[in-house]
Structure 1
Amino acid sequence: MSLDQDADDWFVRMRGPDAADVRAQFEEWRSVPAHAQAYERRVRSFDTMMFLASTGTVRKRNLDIAKPWVLRTAFRKYAAAAIGLMLMGSLVLIVVQRSFGVPQSFSRLEVSSFEEAPRHVSLPDGSKLILDRGSRVQISYDNKQRRLRLLVGRARFSVAHDRARPFIVEAGAGRVIAHGTLFDVELTQSAVRIALLQGAVEVRDASGGNGRKRLDLRAGQRTAIEGGSVVKPTSIAAADTQWPNDMLVLYGVEIGEAVAVFNRTAPSPILCELRSSQPLRVTGAFRRSDPESFARQLAATFGFRVEKREDGSFAIVDGSRTGT
C-alpha cells in the first residue's frame, strides 16, 4: 500500500466508530514526518472539498447531467472518506468545477479540530486558521464581509488583505474586526481573550454591560472581554504565542503556571498536586504532544514523582521516588 493510500485509510478510520481504539496506532504511524505530511495533505484537501460543497453552485448542480470531466481521481481518493462520514450521519456529495477555483462566497461552514492539534485550515481568500485541540469555528463568506464565529476553544487567524470585505471574528459577546493581521482568540467560560501578534484590530463588546465597549488593539498587546467590558490591554507573554508549535519553550515560569500553559494544548492533562508553597520556576523546551515526558522532566528537576491515573492524566506529587 502506498503512503497516500495509508493516509487515506487513516483519514477514514480516525473519523469512524473505532477512532478511539486505534488512536495509539495512528499516533505511532503519524510520528514519522513523511506520514504526518501525507495525512495533513488529506485533511487540507478534504477541507477544500467541503468549502466547495457549501457553495450555491455545487448545491444547485444537476448531478444527472454532470460532465465526465468531474475528477474521477479525487472521487476515488475520497470515496472512502465519504463512507466514513456516512457512518456518522453526514455525507457530502461534491462536484469539482472545471476551473478548480475555490469560490469566494459560501454559506455557513463549520470546521473543527479533534485528533489533529493544531489543525491548519486554508480559506479561499488566502486567509488561514490554526485551530487548537477541541476547537470549532463557523465560517461564512459573502460579497460584503468575511464572518467567522469561534464556538469552542482557541484559534489563530492570519487575515489576507481585502479592503472591500472586513474580516470579523465573533466569540461569545466579543467581536474582532480586522483587514490584514495576525491574532489569537480564545473563548473560555468567563471571558473572551484576544492577543494581537501583527497589525491592528478593533475589539468590541456586545454583552450589554456598562464598561468599555471598544478598543483599538496594537501588535504585541492582549485584552479580554469579561464582566461586560473590554479590559485594559497588557503585553503578550511569550508563552502565550507558542501554542501552534509542538515545542513549548519556558523561561523562568512558575511551575503551576507552566502546567497550566502546557495543559491548554495537551492531549492528556497534567495535574500539579504539590503541598509545598516554595516558588519553583521552570526553564526548558518541551513537546506538547508528549505530556508524560513533560511531567517526568518537571518531577526529576524538582525531586517530585509522577503518578499515572486511570483517566490518562499524569499527576506531579510530592516525593523523590519516580512513579509509574
Structure 2
Amino acid sequence: MNQIRHFKSREHIEQEAAAWVIKIDQKPLSASERDELERWLAQSQAHRRSFLALADVWQELDGLTSESEAVTQQAARPSQKQMPIVWSAAAAVLLAIALFTFHLRTANVPDIHAEYQTATGEIEQYLLPDGSRIKLNTRSNVVVDFSAHERAIHLQEGEANFEVAKDPKRPFVVYTNRGSITAVGTAFNVRVQSSGIDLVVTEGKVKVDAASSVLEPVRYDDKPSTRTELPDRSAQQIVAVSAGEKLRFGNTTQHHTNPSQQEIDRQLSWQQGMLAFDSTPLAEAVREISRYTDTHIIIEDPALAELPVGGYFKAGEVDAMLEVLELSFNLSAEHQGNRILLSKK
C-alpha cells in the first residue's frame, strides 16, 4: 500500500546529525536519549546515510573508538527496530574536521532528485548527469535519487532500460517492489509485472538481491513521496546475472535462463519502437499490444488464447497490427466503442 511521506531537507538532517555527535561527545547518552537517537536513525535512509558518511571520515581520522565503530555498524542496518546502543565519547574537535572533510568530498557530486514517467504509448530517453541513460517504455515511472554515495533508481512501474556509466565509488542500484539490482558499469533491462520482475542483462554483470527491503525514494525537499512495502523475507536471495542472461524473480521463486540472441532482441525491440512476436500465444501478444493503447482488446473465444502468432509491428499502431492478425491468422476484429473483440472468422 502506498503511503505519502514528507522528507526533511539535506541540510536539516546534517545539522541534526552534527547535534547528535556533539551530544555524544559531551557525555554518555541516557537510556531515553539512546531511544530517541534510535528513532532518529530509523526515520529514513538519509538519516543513516549522513551519520555513516561522517563516521567514515572519523574512522580515517582515528576519531572513533571500537565501541563507537559498533554504533556505526548498528546504524548501517536497515531494520526499523534498532537494538539499544552503548556509546562512548568521541573527540569534539574531530566533529568540525569530519564535517569539513565530508563537505569537501561531496561538494562536486550533485544530488539529483527527479521523477520521470511516460503515458500510454510513449517511449522516452533521459540522460542523467553521471552519463548514464534511462529509456522508459510505455506506462512507466522512475524516481532518480543520486547522492555522493549511491545512484538510486526506483522503478515504480513499467519497464526501463539502463546504460550505466562506471563509478565504482557510487553503485547504481535499481529498486523494485521485489528486490534490487546493483551495477557498476553495464547495460540491462528491467520490467515490473504483477507476476514478478523480468531482468535481461546485455552488457557486464549485475547483482540481484531479491530480499532487499527498501523501496523508499530519499527526498531532500518537502515534496510528498510514495513508499512501496516489500514482502517480508527471512532469507536473502542474491544472484549474479551476466550479459546474455535473463532472470525472472518474484516473492519466493527465481527462473535463471540463457535465452538466444533472437529472443533477447525480440524482448528489447520496444527500444526501437517495435513489437516482435514469434509463435507467441495470442493472449500474450494481446497483453503486449494493450500496453500501448487505451483501447481494451478482448479475446472472445478462449480457444484462441493459445493460437501462435508472429510478426514485427510498430508499437502503438493497433489498427495496423489487428489488420495483420485478421489477414494472416483468420481472425475478426470488431470495434465496439473503446473495445475491440477478437474472434474466429
Query: What is the TM-score of this pair, normalised by structure 1?
Result: 0.60
Residue 265 to residue 158, structure 1, CA distance change in 2 (3 Å): farther
Determine the structure 2 residue equivalent to 1:156.
161
In structure 2, C-alpha distance between the alignment counterparts of 1:113 and 1:286, rounded to whole Å: 20
In structure 2, C-alpha distance between the alignment counterparts of 1:303 and 1:225, rounded to whole Å: 36
| Contact map agreement 1:211 1:228 (CA 8 A) in 2 | no
| Contact map agreement 1:267 1:291 (CA 8 A) in 2 | no
| Contact map agreement 1:208 1:228 (CA 8 A) in 2 | no
When Rg is computed on C-alpha atoms for both structures, the one with the higher figure is 2
Residue 55 to residue 268, structure 1, CA distance change in 2 (3 Å): farther
In structure 2, C-alpha distance between the alignment counterparts of 1:220 and 1:265, rounded to whole Å: 27
Alignment-mate amino acid for residue 248 of structure 2? A
Alignment-mate amino acid for residue 149 of structure 1? H
Cα RMSD of the aligned pairs, angstroms, is 2.6
Determine the structure 1 residue equivalent to 2:182.
177
Matched, 1:147 2:152: yes
Indicate the structure whose relative CO is greater, using CA pairs within 8 Å and at least 6 residues apart: 2
237, 252, 257: which one pairs with 1:234?
A: 257
| Contact map agreement 1:267 1:289 (CA 8 A) in 2 | no
Determine the structure 2 residue equivalent to 1:70.
none
| Contact map agreement 1:146 1:167 (CA 8 A) in 2 | yes
In structure 1, C-alpha distance between the alignment counterparts of 2:249 and 2:307, rounded to whole Å: 31
What are the within-5 Å matches in structure 2 for residues 101-112 of structure 1? Answer: 104-112=109-117
In structure 2, C-alpha distance between the alignment counterparts of 1:165 and 1:111, rounded to whole Å: 21
In structure 2, C-alpha distance between the alignment counterparts of 1:179 and 1:289, rounded to whole Å: 34
309, 315, 335: which one pairs with 1:288?
A: 315
Determine the structure 2 residue equivalent to 1:261.
288
Alignment-mate amino acid for residue 232 of structure 1? H
| Contact map agreement 1:104 1:124 (CA 8 A) in 2 | no
Moved more, 138-147 or 244-253: 244-253
Deviation at 1:210, TM superposition (A): 4.9
Determine the structure 2 residue equivalent to 1:316.
342
- Which sections of structure 1, spanning at least 5 residues, go unmatched? 1-53, 57-102, 320-324
What are the within-5 Å matches in structure 2 for residues 1-324 of structure 1? Answer: 104-114=109-119, 117-206=122-211, 207-210=231-234, 213-229=237-253, 231-236=254-259, 237-238=263-264, 239-266=266-293, 268-276=295-303, 280-311=307-338, 313-319=339-345
Q: What is the DSSP-based 3-state SS (H/G/I as helix, E as strand, rest coil) of the residue aligned with 1:249?
A: strand
Deviation at 1:156, TM superposition (A): 0.9
Deviation at 1:104, TM superposition (A): 4.7
| Contact map agreement 2:126 2:135 (CA 8 A) in 1 | yes
Deviation at 1:270, TM superposition (A): 3.2
Number of aligned pairs?
218
In structure 2, C-alpha distance between the alignment counterparts of 1:273 and 1:146, rounded to whole Å: 46
Alignment-mate amino acid for residue 307 of structure 1? E
Q: What is the DSSP-based 3-state SS (H/G/I as helix, E as strand, rest coil) of the residue aligned with 2:188?
A: strand
Deviation at 1:293, TM superposition (A): 1.2
Deviation at 1:216, TM superposition (A): 0.2
Deviation at 1:273, TM superposition (A): 2.6
Deviation at 1:279, TM superposition (A): 5.8
Deviation at 1:121, TM superposition (A): 0.8
Deviation at 1:225, TM superposition (A): 2.6
Alignment-mate amino acid for residue 297 of structure 1? V
Alignment-mate amino acid for residue 113 of structure 2? R
Deviation at 1:125, TM superposition (A): 0.8
Deviation at 1:201, TM superposition (A): 0.2
In structure 2, C-alpha distance between the alignment counterparts of 1:152 and 1:108, rounded to whole Å: 18
In structure 1, C-alpha distance between the alignment counterparts of 2:340 and 2:274, rounded to whole Å: 19
| Contact map agreement 1:269 1:291 (CA 8 A) in 2 | no
Give % identity: 24
Alignment-mate amino acid for residue 233 of structure 1? H
In structure 2, C-alpha distance between the alignment counterparts of 1:55 and 1:305, rounded to whole Å: 59
Alignment-mate amino acid for residue 164 of structure 2? V
Deviation at 1:224, TM superposition (A): 2.5
CA-to-partner distance for each residue in 1:149-198, whole Å, 9 max, x for gaps? 01111111111111221100001131000011111112223422222122
| Contact map agreement 1:166 1:178 (CA 8 A) in 2 | yes
